Amino acid sequence: ANGGVGSFAIYLLNQLGFNVTAATGRLDQSEYLKELGAKHVIDRNELSNPGKPLQKERFAGAIDSVGSYTLANICASLKYGGVVTACGLAQGMDLPGSVAPFILRGISLMGIDSVMRPKVDRIEAWERLAKLVSADYLDKISTEISLEHVIDNAEQLMEGKIRGRVVVNCQS
């Protein structure tokens, strides 16, 4: 939840009135996640290991940016008719789960693709985001760096020391 996708998802879902639970491997960042709009913060280890095919119904929906066991456990924890969107593979490309939640709870799994989406859909999405997202918020979750600092930031990112979105200014 501390990355760019997670930070943005928490904020947008909160803006839309949802009760947001954020999963993170850095519980020391819980206050930051709550400032973004998370009502609850859980340890990502609750979701990142092998689990049962059907679990207690906890979530109405989810945005998953990690895949693998986390995605399988989210699917197993969705309430009847819930939807999860998958937009990342940080934990893995596999989906080690069961079809049980899809059949017994009628859940849906939607893939998010930002590359091949038609231009008209992108324009509509940007217009909707412009109404929901304030410039102050973007400043809160973004850090701008110069091209010369990319390697250092990449190492920090891989060590889990960066939160939010990093924007590289190629002209500085």
Confidence of residue 172 (pLDDT cuts 50, 70, 90): low
Least confident stretch, 8-12, 30-34, 123-127, 153-157: 153-157
Contacts of 131 (CB under 8 A, 6+ apart): none
pLDDT of residue 161: 83
Number of neighbours of residue 93 by Cβ within 10 angstroms: 7
In the chain, which ranges are continuous DSSP H helix?
Answer: 4-15, 30-36, 68-77, 100-104, 119-132, 135-141, 150-158
Nearest C-alpha neighbor of 64 from the set 53, 75, 56, 54: 75
pLDDT of residue 136: 86
Residue 118 CA: distances (Å) to CA of 8, 9, 110, 141:
22, 22, 17, 27
